[in-house]
Structure 1
Amino acid sequence: MKLLYWLDDWLTLSKNEQQAQLPFTGDDLLDDVFVKYHFVDLDKPLLFTFSPAGTNYQEHDLHADFSPWGYRLAQKQGVNIIAFQHLGRSNWFRSRNLIFFLEQLATLLEPFNRRLGYGTSRGGFGVGAFANLLQLDTVLLFHPVSTKNKAKAYWDTRSSTDIAQQFDWEGDYHDLDLGKAQGYIIYDPTNPIDRRHAKRYAGLTHLRVFGMGHGTHATYMNKFGFYKQIAVDFMRSEHIDIAQFRQQTKTLRFKEDYYKRLNKANAKSLHRLELLSKAHNILLEEKVEHVQEHQAQIDIQPLIDIAIKHQDEHPQDAIQLLEVAQQLVPDDPLVAHTLKQLDKDE
């Protein structure tokens, strides 16, 4: 627990002396959780991240440059970061050693005036469970689980609930405890289990994305940089521009895959499927008008220039940039020609 010893000594210094000791980077292994930290500036917030399901690393995957979920993104934003990465497939941050570490850590954070939490799904549970202990001010959660205590969330019938029963769901920090924390929760209200978990986070600002599903954050939505930009805005300002967020979600309606996911989420309701079909047909007409209205304003030349500049060194990245340009301006002959040439070379 190197961090605890370092913080204990660091707290004896004046603020100027503390700042002079930064940046400071290190890591610890706490049973089945790897923690990595990077402190850069006392005037910047301290961000806590907890990893989601699907990041199922093992201890043998750890190396000197290993970065837990959310760590590199936080580094790029220049904030202080303590990132917790669970190891193994079924891990709900219930280790007694981890909890002892967090309880000790909570007493050593006085120099950091602003404390943030960021997590999704299982990671959202981690943020919510330890928010009050760590005295978090603001949180950003994507479809978080609130608890796997069957008495409190009897309606969570996912297979992960039964698997999670190997852990203690009666002891400390087994349920959400936000304390004074404010912030945002983003989820899909058409997912009934996510919706019921979200209702338990009553004190947060609820932002709904229809058709998002539960595991889309790391795949479909992330492909468009949708959630990454939200996380970046949150880290930089502790704030999400709700009007802009709603405008972004509105543009998702123009993506065919969005309706496929909505149809899947509502497969058992013929009434909803009929409504979705009508809405989809209306949107197809709107999409044509939307594209025509905005195409003239889109300048894709910078994307083409960057792709051509780096095509020899990073051909796959160049192709991806051009594919984005082609989505923005589907009928541009220069993009089509350049992409065809790159595909041929590749």
Structure 2
Amino acid sequence: MKLLYWLDEWLTLCRDEQQTKLPMCGGDLLGDVYVKYEFVDLNKPLLFTFSPAGTNVQEQDLTDDFAPWGFHLAQKQNVNVISFQHLGKSNWFRSRNLIFFLEQLATLLEPFKCRLGYGLSRGGFAVGAFAKLLKLDQVLFFHPVSSKNTKIVPWDNRSSTELAQQFDWQSEYNDLDLGHAKGYIIYDPTNKIDRLHAKRYPQLTHLRVFGMGHGTHASYLTKFGFYKQVAVDFIRHQQIDIAQFRLQTKTLRLKEEYYQSLNKANAYSAHRLALLSTAHKILADEKEEHVQEHQAKIDIQPLIDVALKHQDEHPNDAIQLLEVAQQIVPDDPLVEHKLKQLE
């Protein structure tokens, strides 16, 4: 636990001296959890991240270059970071070693005035469970999991809940405890269990994204950079521009993969599939109208001028330019006439 010893000595210094000791980075193995940390500037936020499911890392994978989930993202934003990576598939950050470490760590963070937490699913559970202990100011959760204590959330009947029962859910930090933290929780309201978990976070701002699912169902959101952009805004500004967020989710609706994922997530609901089909048709009509309006505003004359200028020396290039112009304005008689001449 090198970090605890370093922080204990570091706290004896005045603030200016503390700043001169930075940057400082390192890592510790806490039984079935690995922690990596980097402190760069006392005036920057301190971000805590906990890894989600699907990051099945083993102890033998822990090289000097290994970075836990969220660590590189924090580095790119030039903030202080402490990232926790669970080792193995079913780890829920319940080990005594980790809890002891966090309890000691919480007493050594006084110099950091702004503290943030960010997590998806299982990682979000850990951020929420330790938020009060770590005195977090702002948190960001995707795909909420408030607890796996079956006495608290008896309606969470996912297979992951059954697997999680191998851990101790009776001792401390087994449930959300946000303290004074504010922030955001982002989830799919059509996912019943996620919705019920989200209701247990009334002090957070709820942002709903229909069809985002939970876990692997949301891989297409990762592909489009959805999570990353929201997290970057949160880390940089400690808040999310909700108007921009709405615009971003609206943009997702224009992608066919979004509807494919929605259809997959709602495959067993004929009612929802019918609604999705109607919404998809309306959107397709809107997209077609938008494209036509956009095309009407494009001046293709420069393309035609260049094509005519070079039609003798470079007829093939002229044809390609005219074909592009025809794609933009399919019914233009001049473009059609020149193409017939050149072909």
Considering the TM-score relative to the shorter chain, is it more than 0.5? Answer: yes
Amino acid at match of 1:9: E
Query: CA–CA distance in 2 between the matches of 1:287 and 1:29?
Result: 52
Aligned to 2:213: 213
Aligned to 1:40: 40
- RMSD of aligned C-alpha atoms? 1.8
> Structure 1 residues 292 and 20, CA, compared in 2 at 3 Å: closer, same or farther?
farther
Query: CA–CA distance in 1 between the matches of 2:81 and 2:285?
Result: 46
Aligned to 2:148: 148
What are the residue-to-residue correspondences of 1:242-321 with 2, within 5 Å? 242-292=242-292
> Structure 1 residues 194 and 284, CA, compared in 2 at 3 Å: closer, same or farther?
same
Q: Which of structures 1 and 2 has the bigger CA Rg?
A: 2
Aligned to 2:323: none
Contact 1:33 1:86 in 2 (8 A): yes
Deviations 1:181-235 (A, max 9, x none): 0000000111111111111111100001000010158721111111101111111
Three-state SS of the structure 2 residue aligned to 1:133 is: helix
Q: Report whether the alignment pairs 1:182 with 2:182.
A: yes
Three-state SS of the structure 1 residue aligned to 2:107 is: helix
What are the residue-to-residue correspondences of 1:208-247 with 2, within 5 Å? 208-216=208-216, 219-247=219-247
Aligned to 1:105: 105
Contact 1:123 1:144 in 2 (8 A): no
Aligned to 1:65: 65
> Structure 1 residues 80 and 60, CA, compared in 2 at 3 Å: closer, same or farther?
same
**Residue 283 of structure 1: how far off its partner (Å):** 0.5
> Structure 1 residues 189 and 80, CA, compared in 2 at 3 Å: closer, same or farther?
same
Query: CA–CA distance in 1 between the matches of 2:292 and 2:206?
Result: 33
Query: CA–CA distance in 2 between the matches of 1:206 and 1:99?
Result: 29
User: How many corresponding residue pairs?
Assistant: 300
> Structure 1 residues 292 and 51, CA, compared in 2 at 3 Å: closer, same or farther?
farther
Deviations 1:227-265 (A, max 9, x none): 101111111010100001001101111111212222233
**Residue 295 of structure 1: how far off its partner (Å):** 7.6
Three-state SS of the structure 2 residue aligned to 1:229 is: helix
Deviations 1:244-300 (A, max 9, x none): 1001101111111212222233333322222211111001111223345568999xx
Work out the percentage of aligned pairs sharing the same amino acid. 75
Aligned to 1:27: 27
Consecutive aligned runs of 4 or more in structure 1 exceeding 3 Å deviation:
290-298
**Can you give the 5+ residue segments of structure 1 that lack an aligned partner in the other structure?**
299-330, 333-346
Query: CA–CA distance in 1 between the matches of 2:195 and 2:297?
Result: 38
Amino acid at match of 1:113: K
Contact 2:212 2:218 in 1 (8 A): no
Aligned to 2:78: 78
Aligned to 2:138: 138
**Can you give the 5+ residue segments of structure 2 that lack an aligned partner in the other structure?**
299-326, 329-343
**Please, what TM-score do these two structures have when normalized by structure 2?**
0.84
Three-state SS of the structure 2 residue aligned to 1:84 is: strand
Amino acid at match of 1:109: L
Amino acid at match of 2:105: L
> Structure 1 residues 295 and 227, CA, compared in 2 at 3 Å: closer, same or farther?
farther
Amino acid at match of 2:170: E
Q: Report whether the alignment pairs 1:170 with 2:151.
A: no
